[in-house]
Each structure stands twice: as C-alpha cells, then as structure tokens.
Amino acid sequence: MLKKVSHFLLLSHKGGASRYWEIDALRGVAIVMMVTYHLVYDLALLGYYQANVQVGPWRIFARITASLFILLVGTSLTLSHTRISQRASGWNLYSKYFWRGLKLIGWGMVITVATWIYMGRVVVIFGILHMIGTAVILAYPFLSLHRANLVLGAMAIALGTYLSRLPVTQPWLLLLGLRPTTLFQLDYFPLLPWFGVTLLGLFIGHRLYPDGMRRFKLPAAGGRRPGVKELVWLGERSLLIYLIHQPLLFTVFTLADLAGMRGVIP
C-alpha cells in the first residue's frame, strides 16, 4: 500500500527492465550536485560561510545541475512515450503526462506555500518543479518530433535569454521569463529558456534511445556496481529527496545554532 501511494505521488519509481540504469544514475549525480549547491547556499544565507554563491563558479555549477535535471526530464519523456504508446492512444495516452505534470505542479505549490510561511515575501513562485510539471504537460505534441526539437530548443533558449534582459515593471509574464528587476526570486525557472532545455532532452532521447531502445552498449549489471548502485537509488527517488533535503538541512542548522556553532565554519 505504501509503495502504491509513493508511486502515485511520484516519490519513487517502479523498477523493471523498461528502466535504463544510466539515466537513473545520471539523475542521482544531479541530486548529489543539487544537495551540494543547496548546502553551500544555505551556509552562506545563514551566515555560516562567507561567499556569494549566486555568481561566478557556483552559479555555473547550479545551472549545470538544473540543466542536467531538465535534460533528463526530456529524455525520460521519450522513453515513457514509446512504452505507453504501445497500449494507449489519444486522451488515454496524453492523460498520463497531463496528470503527472499536475502532480509535479502540485508539489511545486507545496514549495510555494512552505517558502511563504517560512520566508515571508521571498516566495518560490515558479520554481523548478513548477517548470518541470508544466513542461511535462506542454511537451506532448513535441514527442513526435525528432531533429526539429534541437532547433526549437535552441530557439527557446535564445528567446529566453533575450527576454530575461528586457526591462519590465509588472510580473504578469513571470513564467515566460519576463521578471521585474526589483522582484527577487528563489528557485526561479521560467519556461523560457528552460522549456528549451526540455526540448533538447527530447532530441537526445530520440537520438540515443530510438524507439525506446538503447543504441549504445553498456553492461546490464552496470547499475549494480558499488557507487553506481547508490546513484541509481538516489535517481529513483529524486523528487522525494528534493522535497525533504532542505527541511533536513535547516533542521541541522537550527540545532547547530542551539549548540552555539555559528561562525565555526570559516
């Protein structure tokens, strides 16, 4: 029963021959990178570590992490589409993505409410979960495209980069990347350019896994090797770890405060 609830809420994935261990392992790498960045970010935010993690190498590290996550979203969509389309079509097929996207948006709203309660005005309005959930819903008509997704993805990224530089005073098109310079956002991932990264993931999925079949050779037992096995485990529970890692980190920092450890980290 618990497993069924976990799968329904997207907190874990069903194993099986249809999953490719290298994708879960890469998602596990992205999880490790994300937790690492958030750990350093929180340390700087709370005054334990004197560094600006929103510029320079740390900013690049954060963008690489997010890009890896979102590329894997697109790649995974091509694999699931190949598998599900063998037994469903029309609305029955699209509904799988529609409801999955809504669930991810719902988890994004949980993050929105939590940040509003905990941080006040600094609220996550359209974070990475909102973006991924919306991308899962919007990506459906692009799943039948192949090389076109490379061009469309590049165009979306270029357009998003351009829009991010336009001066605006209203936040009504925030989800498209038009953000007032006075509006500070945590975890901000507008559809432009990030939906373009999803489209690049679709392109990669079709190129590396045509018709859902791996076109390159990897050992079948590679996912059970030490080190890789742990990454696969993390990748299969990426949403759960994303949701709980920040509350756990802040709990640790709160306990550190109570213990008088602030300032110990140089």
Q: What is the pLDDT of residue 261?
A: 60
Return d(Cα 105, Cα 161) in angstroms, integer. Answer: 24
- The encoded tokens of residue 46 equal 């709370």
Q: What is the pLDDT of residue 14?
A: 64
pLDDT in tens, 197-252: 999 999 999 999 999 999 999 988 888 899 999 999 999 999 999 999 988 988 88
- The encoded tokens of residue 111 equal 């993050």
CB proximity list for 10: less than 8 A, separation 6 or greater:
100, 103, 104, 107, 239
Return d(Cα 241, Cα 226) in angstroms, integer. Answer: 20
Query: Which backbone phi and psi does 120 adopt, to 5 degrees?
Result: 75, -120
Return d(Cα 158, Cα 237) in angstroms, integer. Answer: 32
Name the pTM for this structure.
Answer: 0.92
Low-confidence ranges of the chain (pLDDT < 70): 14-18, 260-266
Q: What is the pLDDT of residue 47?
A: 77
- The encoded tokens of residue 100 equal 């999955």
Give the CA radius of gyration of the chain: 19
Q: Three-state DSSP class for 37?
A: helix
